[in-house]
């Protein structure tokens, strides 16, 4: 990862460029994964939670469509 910064560039802009580069390469997400120990059950829980959220949204959407049609 590298960011080229000029002498006359504001520090806020340089930090923004650095943050963008780190996000693009996934360095922040990788460090979060390495920092916290997660068990297999917590990963399963997160996956189920994600699918449950999708399922809820789909069901509410179909209910809204049915109420509009009727």
Q: Distance from CA of residue 61 to its chain's centroid?
A: 24
* Residue 16 CA: distances (Å) to CA of 7, 21, 54, 60: 16, 9, 33, 39
* Residue 36 CA: distances (Å) to CA of 16, 29, 70: 26, 11, 50
Residue 70: pLDDT over 70:
no
Confidence at residue 12, expressed as pLDDT on a 0 to 100 scale = 94
Q: What pTM did the predictor assign?
A: 0.45
Confidence at residue 6, expressed as pLDDT on a 0 to 100 scale = 86
More confident residue, 70 or 22: 22
Confidence at residue 3, expressed as pLDDT on a 0 to 100 scale = 84
- The per-residue pLDDT for range 6-64, each reduced to its tens digit, is 889 999 999 999 999 999 999 888 888 888 887 889 889 999 999 999 999 999 999 99
């Amino acid at each position: 990862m590298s960011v080229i910064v000029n002498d006359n560039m504001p520090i806020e802009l340089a930090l923004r460029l650095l943050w963008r580069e780190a996000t693009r390469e996934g360095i922040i997400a990788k460090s979060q994964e390495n920092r916290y120990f997660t068990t297999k059950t917590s990963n399963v829980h997160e996956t189920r939670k994600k699918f449950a959220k999708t399922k809820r949204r789909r069901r509410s959407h179909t209910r809204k469509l049915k109420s509009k049609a009727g």
